[in-house]
Chain A
Amino acid sequence: MLTISRELVDRIVAHARADHPDEACGIVAGPAGSDRPERFVPMENAERSPTFYRFDSMEQFRVWREMDDRDEVPVVIYHSHTATEAYPSRTDIGYASEPDAHYVLVSTASEEETPFRSFRINDGVVTEEDVKIVEAYG
């Protein structure tokens, strides 16, 4: 299960809406071993595409080193689908490379609602998990 604060959910959705119709992407870092997403880091989609995303390699390097220095990990890796459902595509599954991360997908296909779902992706196997949205971490 992913437990995440409402503020972070709102920020992820706002980022996805702002970049629509291109896919938006980013991470939420948290202390290693805590499984608690805390620090919102929107990333540039180097592909600037409605159907593909890739973190800019130099931005990724800086962000990953900063996490290392702070003893953090990417607890959440998020991106948006802009015309399809919030479910991992074959591409998403093929490139998933952080077995400990919660892969969050949001869909901006509809203007009325923004589905927000979370998955584990491990060795090509997708497992959807519940998302518990809290006002604050206890």
Chain B
Amino acid sequence: MAIEVRIPTILRSYTDGAKAVNAKGSTLEELIGDLESRHPGLKSRLVDESGLRRFVNVYLNDEDVRFLGGLGTPVADGDTVTVLPAVAGGAR
């Protein structure tokens, strides 16, 4: 078993076009580290020095990880992590 990570269109260049990839770890931070080892470059699209990038949404199963524990959120085999770029913009 592993954790399924669903990848949005704009980041599929890092996963050879795959819509979902498997990764492992006991926290979201470890999971992202594992993803980076298999798909170099992905990590910097998800996090910066201060944590999760502001305009990337990451969900553990049905919850936004911002409402859980951010990068420290525990994850386990069988979970699904979904990455969606925030849809945002505006006149300024």
Chain A contact residues, CB within 8 Å of chain B: 23, 25, 27, 43, 47, 49-55, 57-58, 60-61, 64-65, 77, 79, 81-84, 88-89, 91-92, 94-100
Residues A95 and B64 in contact in the complex (CB < 8 Å), given A57-B57, A61-B84, A100-B9: no
B66 interface contact, C-beta 8 A = yes
Q: Is the CB of A53 within 8 A of B57?
A: no
Q: How many residues of B contact A (CB 8 A)?
A: 19
The docked-state distance in angstroms from the alpha carbon of A99 to that of B85 is 12
Name the contact of B87 in the complex, choosing from A52, A55, A89 (C-beta under 8 A).
A55
Residues on B with beta carbons closer than 8 Å to the beta carbon of A79: 89-90
| B:20-68 near A, CB below 8 Å | 55, 57, 59, 62, 64, 66
Residues on B with beta carbons closer than 8 Å to the beta carbon of A61: 57, 59, 62, 64, 82, 84
Q: Is the CB of B57 within 8 A of A52?
A: no
Chain B contact residues, CB within 8 Å of chain A: 8-10, 55, 57, 59, 62, 64, 66, 82, 84-92
Q: Is the CB of A89 within 8 A of B66?
A: no
The main secondary structure of chain B at its interface with chain A is mixed
Name the contact of A98 in the complex, choosing from B9, B62, B64, B91 (C-beta under 8 A).
B9
Residues on B with beta carbons closer than 8 Å to the beta carbon of A77: 87
Residues on A with beta carbons closer than 8 Å to the beta carbon of B84: 57, 60-61, 64
Q: Is the CB of B86 within 8 A of A51?
A: no
Q: Is the CB of A91 within 8 A of B89?
A: yes
Name the contact of A83 in the complex, choosing from B9, B55, B57, B91 (C-beta under 8 A).
B91
